[in-house]
Homo-oligomer: A and B are copies of this chain.
């Protein structure tokens, strides 16, 4: 999508399985002719080392992932961890993600952003199936140190209100943020034309929880997407007949398909979410693009049935569906829309840069295009995690974004879930524990400074890639309209000067 480098994360057992198979990373080189058949890769443990086999996979293409995954589990057993992509990836869509199954074999966890599904499909690889059965435990240089760190981190997670059992994430999922951002005036509404949505509460994590409670006759807490996770933030929305409507509805998804489109019908949002999963679409990009389509007059804001139909067009690969699947920036260009919330072509996530200045700096300057996870300044700006900063103030936000981007690059690299950020930022022993875990596994001697340095080094490599790919620092900008159009309710513009944006990675 961006023409630059891409990282995307999902949880699930796939990563731990890869590690158990003694593989640090898989590198897929080359690009077969698009007329070649699709194939799958399966990696198992042969008693001493990983064993790799290939299998033909053309028969699994052109289908919904919900149809294909059960067939794969049937074939390779329920212990398999499967990475794949849907029709969206096969059709080369810029809004296609890579899907992984959760602990209940649902193909519901997406490394969503930037078109990685299309990149995987361009390799003609439909599946990467891992089965670590029989493989030994992950080797550690200093297991005692790891265990010490693990205990500290677990204690921090269990004592922090956001991450603790029956806390914010476990009860309401990431969608716990809907009401918080709405209250802060930073919930982008109707294609980023306001920061507060009158229907927000109906689309919130609390609403999902209450709806489930009513439909299931009991409180339903969220589930883990990866083995051993104690945060357990993955939610499921149930239908009145107690069947699953979709899993999981992230904050980003209930926003992109909700407030961003002026839609407050949770069941329709769930339908859209499920369609995105079925086709292999990034929900953020899909919703962002639909917002631009609404701005262009293709349909009215609030028209949830029309939005569902447009997502179905994406699944069909019609001309309209293909256009929208090129993403927020491309759709804006094709329909001549001036208010297009994107950076480097990638649609903005669920935090308004005009109401939360630091996250706007992250959107503009990260190597990824508009991406909140690359430097989640929401922690201090909105949540009061690691102290509380005024979200409307531009003061010190460039340095804040840089610090978050560097630390995040480390957390992503070491395989911890980003949601440990809440406890480790607030609880010093939690941070210590995270570092000790890494040192215990790897035999490194990292401290806080080393971690930031490691993250900065990662960002340096990513930026060098982007520069070589033609993405210059002049592209590190938010769209023009955000600099001139005041956003209700705070009536703020994005007032971070270009020089401050350039300062984030100056001299790097």
Q: Beyond A94-B333, A118-B336, A325-B334: 8 further Cβ-contacts under 8 Å?
A: A93-B336, A319-B323, A323-B323, A330-B330, A330-B334, A467-B474, A470-B471, A472-B474
A27 contacts B by Cβ under 8 Å: no
Partner of A34, one of B94, B118, B338: B338
A469 contacts B by Cβ under 8 Å: yes
Partner of A322, one of B323, B467, B472: B323
Contact residues, A305-324 vs B (CB, 8 A): 318-320, 322-323
A144 contacts B by Cβ under 8 Å: no
A92 contacts B by Cβ under 8 Å: yes
Contact residues, A157-188 vs B (CB, 8 A): none
| Contact flags A329-364 to B (C-beta < 8 A → 1, else 0) | 010011110100000000000000000000000000
Question: Chain B: which residue is nearest A332 at the CB level?
Answer: B92
Q: Which residues of B contact A320 (CB under 8 A)?
A: 319-320
A80 contacts B by Cβ under 8 Å: no
Contact indicator A330/B326 (Cβ below 8 Å):
yes
A91 contacts B by Cβ under 8 Å: yes
A229 contacts B by Cβ under 8 Å: no
A468 contacts B by Cβ under 8 Å: yes
Partner of A475, one of B93, B338, B470: B470
Q: Which residues of B contact A325 (CB under 8 A)?
A: 334
| Contact flags A469-488 to B (C-beta < 8 A → 1, else 0) | 11110110100000000000
Question: Chain B: which residue is nearest A498 at the CB level?
Answer: B468
| Contact flags A3-39 to B (C-beta < 8 A → 1, else 0) | 0000000000000000000000000000100100000
Q: For the complex, give the distance between the alpha carbons of A320 and B321 in Å.
A: 10
Q: Which residues of B contact A477 (CB under 8 A)?
A: 470
8 interchain pairs, CB-CB under 8 A: A31-B338, A92-B335, A319-B319, A322-B334, A323-B334, A326-B330, A467-B472, A470-B477
Question: Chain B: which residue is nearest A323 at the CB level?
Answer: B323
Contact residues, A69-105 vs B (CB, 8 A): 91-94
Contact indicator B323/A333 (Cβ below 8 Å):
no
Q: Which residues of B contact A322 (CB under 8 A)?
A: 323, 334-335
| Contact flags A117-128 to B (C-beta < 8 A → 1, else 0) | 010001000000
| Chain B nearest CB, measured from A90 CB (Å) | 9
Q: For the complex, give the distance between the alpha carbons of A31 and B336 in Å.
A: 13
